[in-house]
Protein backbone atom coordinates (compact mmCIF):
# COMPACT_ATOMS: atom_id res chain seq x y z
CA UNK A 1 0.00 0.00 0.00
CA UNK A 2 1.34 3.47 -0.83
CA UNK A 3 2.05 5.83 2.02
CA UNK A 4 -0.70 8.35 2.83
CA UNK A 5 -0.05 11.84 1.49
CA UNK A 6 0.45 15.04 3.48
CA UNK A 7 -0.63 18.60 2.72
CA UNK A 8 1.08 21.33 4.72
CA UNK A 9 -1.31 24.28 4.90
CA UNK A 10 -0.50 27.90 5.81
CA UNK A 11 -2.36 31.18 5.87
CA UNK A 12 -0.20 34.28 5.55
CA UNK A 13 -0.12 38.05 5.47
CA UNK A 14 3.10 40.05 5.30
CA UNK A 15 5.29 37.18 6.47
CA UNK A 16 8.30 37.79 4.22
CA UNK A 17 10.69 37.81 7.20
CA UNK A 18 9.50 34.42 8.49
CA UNK A 19 8.27 32.38 5.58
CA UNK A 20 11.38 30.95 3.91
CA UNK A 21 12.79 29.07 6.94
CA UNK A 22 9.31 27.81 7.77
CA UNK A 23 8.77 26.36 4.30
CA UNK A 24 12.29 24.94 4.16
CA UNK A 25 11.39 22.90 7.22
CA UNK A 26 8.38 21.28 5.52
CA UNK A 27 9.78 20.92 1.99
CA UNK A 28 9.62 17.14 2.42
CA UNK A 29 5.79 17.15 2.43
CA UNK A 30 3.81 15.95 -0.59
CA UNK A 31 2.15 19.32 -0.99
CA UNK A 32 2.41 22.84 0.43
CA UNK A 33 -0.65 25.11 0.20
CA UNK A 34 -0.28 28.82 1.01
CA UNK A 35 -3.34 31.06 1.17
CA UNK A 36 -2.37 34.71 1.43
CA UNK A 37 -4.67 37.39 2.81
CA UNK A 38 -3.33 40.29 0.77
CA UNK A 39 0.33 40.77 1.62
CA UNK A 40 2.03 43.98 0.56
CA UNK A 41 5.53 42.54 0.96
CA UNK A 42 7.19 39.61 -0.86
CA UNK A 43 5.30 36.86 0.96
CA UNK A 44 3.70 35.35 -2.14
CA UNK A 45 6.92 35.55 -4.16
CA UNK A 46 8.82 33.71 -1.43
CA UNK A 47 6.08 31.08 -1.17
CA UNK A 48 6.34 30.37 -4.91
CA UNK A 49 9.96 29.32 -4.43
CA UNK A 50 8.67 26.31 -2.53
CA UNK A 51 5.27 25.54 -4.07
CA UNK A 52 3.09 26.37 -7.05
CA UNK A 53 -0.01 26.21 -4.85
CA UNK A 54 -0.06 29.83 -3.71
CA UNK A 55 -3.45 31.53 -3.58
CA UNK A 56 -4.85 34.94 -2.71
CA UNK A 57 -8.06 35.65 -0.81
CA UNK A 58 -8.18 39.11 0.76
CA UNK A 59 -11.84 38.86 1.84
CA UNK A 60 -10.91 38.49 5.48
CA UNK A 61 -13.57 36.97 7.75
CA UNK A 62 -11.32 35.79 10.55
CA UNK A 63 -8.66 33.16 11.15
CA UNK A 64 -11.06 30.22 11.27
CA UNK A 65 -12.74 30.95 7.94
CA UNK A 66 -9.38 31.64 6.28
CA UNK A 67 -8.04 28.29 7.45
CA UNK A 68 -11.17 26.60 6.12
CA UNK A 69 -10.57 28.21 2.73
CA UNK A 70 -6.96 27.08 2.75
CA UNK A 71 -7.90 23.49 3.58
CA UNK A 72 -10.27 23.39 0.61
CA UNK A 73 -7.25 23.94 -1.65
CA UNK A 74 -5.45 20.89 -0.23
CA UNK A 75 -5.57 17.41 -1.75
CA UNK A 76 -3.53 15.30 0.68
CA UNK A 77 -4.94 12.55 2.86
CA UNK A 78 -3.65 14.38 5.93
CA UNK A 79 -3.51 18.06 6.81
CA UNK A 80 -0.67 19.56 8.80
CA UNK A 81 -1.26 23.22 9.70
CA UNK A 82 1.72 25.43 10.41
CA UNK A 83 2.17 29.19 10.74
CA UNK A 84 4.95 31.21 9.17
CA UNK A 85 6.52 31.95 12.57
CA UNK A 86 6.81 28.24 13.42
CA UNK A 87 9.52 25.68 12.62
CA UNK A 88 9.27 21.89 12.41
CA UNK A 89 12.02 20.10 14.32
CA UNK A 90 13.62 16.89 12.95
CA UNK A 91 12.00 14.91 15.79
CA UNK A 92 8.55 16.18 14.83
CA UNK A 93 9.20 15.41 11.17
CA UNK A 94 10.03 11.80 12.06
CA UNK A 95 6.83 11.44 14.06
CA UNK A 96 4.73 12.87 11.23
CA UNK A 97 6.30 10.46 8.73
CA UNK A 98 5.48 7.56 11.06
CA UNK A 99 1.87 8.76 11.26
CA UNK A 100 1.63 8.73 7.48
CA UNK A 101 2.90 5.15 7.47
CA UNK A 102 0.32 3.95 10.00
CA UNK A 103 -2.46 6.12 8.45
CA UNK A 104 -4.92 5.84 11.34
CA UNK A 105 -7.69 8.18 10.26
CA UNK A 106 -9.57 7.88 13.53
CA UNK A 107 -6.91 10.04 15.18
CA UNK A 108 -5.97 13.70 15.35
CA UNK A 109 -2.60 14.78 16.68
CA UNK A 110 -1.73 17.48 19.20
CA UNK A 111 1.75 18.93 18.89
CA UNK A 112 3.77 20.62 21.68
CA UNK A 113 4.85 24.17 20.84
CA UNK A 114 8.04 25.54 22.34
CA UNK A 115 8.03 29.34 22.11
CA UNK A 116 10.92 31.77 22.02
CA UNK A 117 10.37 35.13 23.70
CA UNK A 118 12.67 37.89 24.92
CA UNK A 119 15.90 35.98 24.55
CA UNK A 120 15.04 32.42 25.56
CA UNK A 121 12.76 29.46 25.03
CA UNK A 122 9.88 29.57 27.51
CA UNK A 123 9.46 26.23 29.29
CA UNK A 124 7.13 27.38 32.08
CA UNK A 125 4.66 30.29 32.51
CA UNK A 126 1.89 28.08 31.11
CA UNK A 127 3.51 28.34 27.68
CA UNK A 128 4.89 24.82 27.39
CA UNK A 129 4.10 22.27 26.19
CA UNK A 130 1.15 24.27 24.75
CA UNK A 131 -0.38 21.35 22.84
CA UNK A 132 -2.25 22.37 19.69
CA UNK A 133 -4.12 20.05 17.33
CA UNK A 134 -2.44 20.61 13.99
CA UNK A 135 -2.46 17.28 12.16
CA UNK A 136 -5.64 15.50 11.15
CA UNK A 137 -7.25 13.51 8.31
CA UNK A 138 -8.49 16.00 5.74
CA UNK A 139 -11.93 14.51 5.26
CA UNK A 140 -12.71 14.06 8.96
CA UNK A 141 -11.72 17.31 10.65
CA UNK A 142 -11.24 21.02 10.05
CA UNK A 143 -11.26 24.43 11.67
CA UNK A 144 -14.25 26.20 13.17
CA UNK A 145 -15.18 29.70 11.98
CA UNK A 146 -13.94 31.65 15.01
CA UNK A 147 -12.52 35.08 14.21
CA UNK A 148 -9.60 34.51 16.62
CA UNK A 149 -8.45 31.55 18.72
CA UNK A 150 -9.78 29.16 16.09
CA UNK A 151 -9.70 25.43 16.82
CA UNK A 152 -9.82 22.15 14.94
CA UNK A 153 -13.18 20.41 15.33
CA UNK A 154 -13.79 16.70 14.84
CA UNK A 155 -16.25 13.97 15.73
CA UNK A 156 -16.53 12.29 19.12
CA UNK A 157 -15.40 9.03 17.56
CA UNK A 158 -11.96 10.55 16.94
CA UNK A 159 -9.18 10.27 19.51
CA UNK A 160 -6.48 12.83 20.27
CA UNK A 161 -2.87 11.66 20.52
CA UNK A 162 -0.10 13.90 21.82
CA UNK A 163 3.22 13.90 19.97
CA UNK A 164 6.65 14.51 21.50
CA UNK A 165 8.59 16.45 18.86
CA UNK A 166 8.43 20.19 19.33
CA UNK A 167 7.04 22.78 16.97
CA UNK A 168 9.23 25.82 17.56
CA UNK A 169 7.28 29.07 17.77
CA UNK A 170 8.92 32.46 17.26
CA UNK A 171 5.84 34.33 18.32
CA UNK A 172 7.10 37.92 18.10
CA UNK A 173 10.30 39.64 17.02
CA UNK A 174 10.43 42.45 19.56
CA UNK A 175 8.27 44.51 21.90
CA UNK A 176 6.81 46.63 19.09
CA UNK A 177 5.71 43.48 17.28
CA UNK A 178 4.13 42.17 20.50
CA UNK A 179 2.22 45.43 21.07
CA UNK A 180 0.82 45.46 17.54
CA UNK A 181 -0.13 41.79 17.69
CA UNK A 182 -1.78 42.20 21.08
CA UNK A 183 -3.77 45.25 19.97
CA UNK A 184 -5.02 43.34 16.93
CA UNK A 185 -6.19 40.39 19.03
CA UNK A 186 -7.78 42.68 21.64
CA UNK A 187 -9.82 44.42 18.96
CA UNK A 188 -10.98 41.16 17.40
CA UNK A 189 -11.84 39.75 20.86
CA UNK A 190 -13.81 42.88 21.78
CA UNK A 191 -15.77 42.78 18.54
CA UNK A 192 -16.69 39.13 19.07
CA UNK A 193 -17.77 39.61 22.69
CA UNK A 194 -19.78 42.71 21.82
CA UNK A 195 -21.61 40.73 19.14
CA UNK A 196 -22.49 38.15 21.79
CA UNK A 197 -23.94 40.84 24.06
CA UNK A 198 -21.11 40.81 26.61
CA UNK A 199 -20.30 43.95 28.60
CA UNK A 200 -17.07 45.07 30.22
CA UNK A 201 -16.00 47.33 33.06
CA UNK A 202 -12.84 48.94 34.36
CA UNK A 203 -13.07 46.80 37.49
CA UNK A 204 -13.30 43.56 35.52
CA UNK A 205 -10.34 44.65 33.37
CA UNK A 206 -8.21 45.26 36.47
CA UNK A 207 -9.34 42.01 38.10
CA UNK A 208 -8.59 39.92 35.03
CA UNK A 209 -5.20 41.59 34.62
CA UNK A 210 -4.21 40.88 38.23
CA UNK A 211 -5.46 37.32 37.99
CA UNK A 212 -3.50 36.80 34.79
CA UNK A 213 -0.25 37.96 36.39
CA UNK A 214 -0.63 35.79 39.48
CA UNK A 215 -1.57 32.74 37.45
CA UNK A 216 1.32 33.09 35.00
CA UNK A 217 4.07 34.08 37.42
CA UNK A 218 3.18 32.04 40.49
CA UNK A 219 0.77 29.18 39.71
CA UNK A 220 2.36 28.40 36.35
CA UNK A 221 5.86 29.01 37.72
CA UNK A 222 6.78 31.81 35.37
CA UNK A 223 9.50 32.79 37.85
CA UNK A 224 11.45 29.73 36.63
CA UNK A 225 11.75 31.41 33.23
CA UNK A 226 13.81 34.19 34.82
CA UNK A 227 13.53 37.73 33.56
CA UNK A 228 11.68 36.59 30.45
CA UNK A 229 9.07 34.98 32.70
CA UNK A 230 8.55 38.20 34.64
CA UNK A 231 8.23 40.20 31.42
CA UNK A 232 5.71 37.71 30.04
CA UNK A 233 3.62 37.80 33.21
CA UNK A 234 3.44 41.59 33.12
CA UNK A 235 2.71 41.73 29.40
CA UNK A 236 0.13 38.97 29.72
CA UNK A 237 -1.66 41.00 32.40
CA UNK A 238 -1.52 44.04 30.15
CA UNK A 239 -2.95 42.02 27.26
CA UNK A 240 -5.85 40.80 29.40
CA UNK A 241 -6.46 44.38 30.59
CA UNK A 242 -6.59 45.61 26.97
CA UNK A 243 -9.21 43.04 26.00
CA UNK A 244 -11.66 43.99 28.72
CA UNK A 245 -11.02 47.71 28.38
CA UNK A 246 -11.65 47.44 24.64
CA UNK A 247 -14.99 45.81 25.43
CA UNK A 248 -15.84 48.49 28.00
CA UNK A 249 -14.92 51.32 25.62
CA UNK A 250 -17.39 49.95 23.08
CA UNK A 251 -20.15 50.76 25.56
CA UNK A 252 -19.10 54.39 25.99
CA UNK A 253 -20.83 57.29 24.17
CA UNK A 254 -19.29 58.69 21.04
CA UNK A 255 -17.90 62.26 21.16
CA UNK A 256 -20.38 65.02 20.32
CA UNK A 257 -20.45 66.08 16.70
CA UNK A 258 -20.34 69.80 17.51
- Per-domain residue ranges for the chain? 6-170, 175-249
pLDDT for the residue 3:
87
Residue 1 has pLDDT above 70, yes or no: no
Beta strands in the chain (DSSP E): 6-12, 31-36, 54-56, 78-81, 86-88, 107-117, 120-122, 131-137, 141-143, 152-154, 159-162, 167-170
Quote the percentage of the chain above a pLDDT of 70: 99
Q: How far is CA 64 from CA 74, 149, 150, 250, in A?
A: 16, 8, 5, 24
For residue range 90-112, list pLDDT tens digits in order.
999 999 999 999 999 999 999 99
Residue 251 phi, psi dihedral angles, 5° rounding: -90, -10
pLDDT for the residue 254:
85
Mean pLDDT estimate for the chain: 95
pLDDT for the residue 201:
94
pLDDT for the residue 164:
98
- Domain 6-170: assigned CATH number: 3.90.550.10
Amino acid sequence: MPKATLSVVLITKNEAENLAPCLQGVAWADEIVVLDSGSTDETREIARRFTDKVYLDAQWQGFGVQRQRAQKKAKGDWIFVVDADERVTPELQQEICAILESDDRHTVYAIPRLSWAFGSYIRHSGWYPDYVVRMYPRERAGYDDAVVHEKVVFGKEMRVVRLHGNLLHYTFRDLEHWVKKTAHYATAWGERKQALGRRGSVGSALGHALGSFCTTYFLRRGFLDGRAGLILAVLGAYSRFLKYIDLWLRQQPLPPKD
